[in-house]
Amino acid sequence: MLGERLQRARKAAGLGLRALADQADLSHTTISKFENEQQTPSSAQLIKLSKILGVRTEYFFRPQTLTITGIEYRKKSSLTQKSLAMIQADIFDQAERWYELLTLYPQSPIQPFALPAELPALIENAEQIETLAETVRTAWNLGLGCIPDMIDTLESQGIMVIGSTVDDSKKFDGLAGMINDMPVVVVGADWSGDRQRFTLAHELGHLLLKGRLAAALLADEEKLCNHFAGAFLLPKPKLIEHLGHKRHRLEINELHLLKHEFGLSMQGVLFRAVQAEIISPATFQSMYMLFSKNGWKAREPGQPYPAEQTILFKQLVYRALAEDYFSESKAAELLGMPVAQFHQQRMLESLEPITH
């Protein structure tokens, strides 16, 4: 177990065997023996390794109880295997801390994920995707307006959301799977908010469409999940309310305003306009070419939509601490910070004073 954790922490730090060995003043053969459980590091060696790798020594002894299945990545071709290993290690570490926290509760504070009962048994065409999105919104009491916080929405339905802090997370487009029978979706913690929200909605689409697509649509699942994401974030009735039923052209500023009202990218709003048949395919192509010409497909004009972040994990740590389920030391370990720093945050000593 210790060897597996050492290897995972090394990969998360982006270090090869020789690089870690050099920093730890050990041979790469010794590091290899540690990882293969052929030799056990001394206490002093373990402390030095933990400092180099940026983990607490408790990390190496955390009980492993996770079963991760069905993991699927949507990544760019420029994402290297080394970067992917770093992202995987980061995700596994965060998921382990999540589950350790939940096991310390007498009863789980999170409701299990369940699909809405009203979902259709079979999806045979794209128009049903629009209905599916509205059905889920109705079942979850979201109305048709902007969803203020997608991370909070999914977490409240029993879906674990992890924000990867690995620098190269910008090169992957999302990850979804099951951890101990709990759905998990991973986004980049430093992504723009509209990209995070679209990825979360896209992965929700996969959960909803699993086993429901007609055979003729199976090859189009990714496109249909993109369609669902747009429809979930910006429902057709609201889009028509803002743009009208039929338009010959759209102003760029209209897309920009809708982006910041609904948290869907300008490009996403443009796709929604053609999906809703508000604009013609020709108008769409004309505007899409404008996006390409101006470089807006990579970076849209104006201020980015604010990123979202999960606060549920931290809330549950403080809740458990208040209920005396564990000590301040365990709370600090779960949050990955020194006890002194955690104590300072617990007492709100690190916050800026309120001025009037």
What mean pLDDT is reported for the chain? Answer: 89
Q: Is the dihedral of CA 191, 196, 199, 204 positive or negative?
A: positive
Amino acid of residue 27:
S
d(C-alpha 189, C-alpha 168), whole Å: 11
Local confidence band at 264 (pLDDT 50, 70, 90 cut-offs): very high
Burial string for 81-108 (b: 16+ CB within 10 Å, else e) reads: eebbbbbbbbbbbbbbbbbbbbeeeeee
269 neighbors 291 (Cβ within 8 angstroms): no
pLDDT beyond 50 at 44 = yes
pLDDT beyond 80 at 33 = yes
Average pLDDT on 179-197 reads 89
Average pLDDT on 91-120 reads 88
CATH superfamily ID and name for 1-61: lambda repressor-like DNA-binding domains (1.10.260.40)
d(C-alpha 309, C-alpha 138), whole Å: 24
Average pLDDT on 94-121 reads 89
d(C-alpha 203, C-alpha 184), whole Å: 9
d(C-alpha 141, C-alpha 77), whole Å: 39
Hey, which of 45-54, 266-275, 341-350 has the most confident mean pLDDT?
Answer: 266-275
326 neighbors 320 (Cβ within 8 angstroms): yes
Count how many Cα atoms sit within 13 Å of the Cα of residue 321 in the half-sphere of its side chain: 19
Q: Both ends of the chain: CA-CA distance in Å?
A: 54
Domain ranges of the chain: 1-61, 68-325
What are the distances in angstroms from CA 103 to CA 52, 171, 187, 313?
Answer: 29, 33, 24, 13
pLDDT beyond 80 at 355 = no
pLDDT tens for 222-235 read 999 999 999 999 99
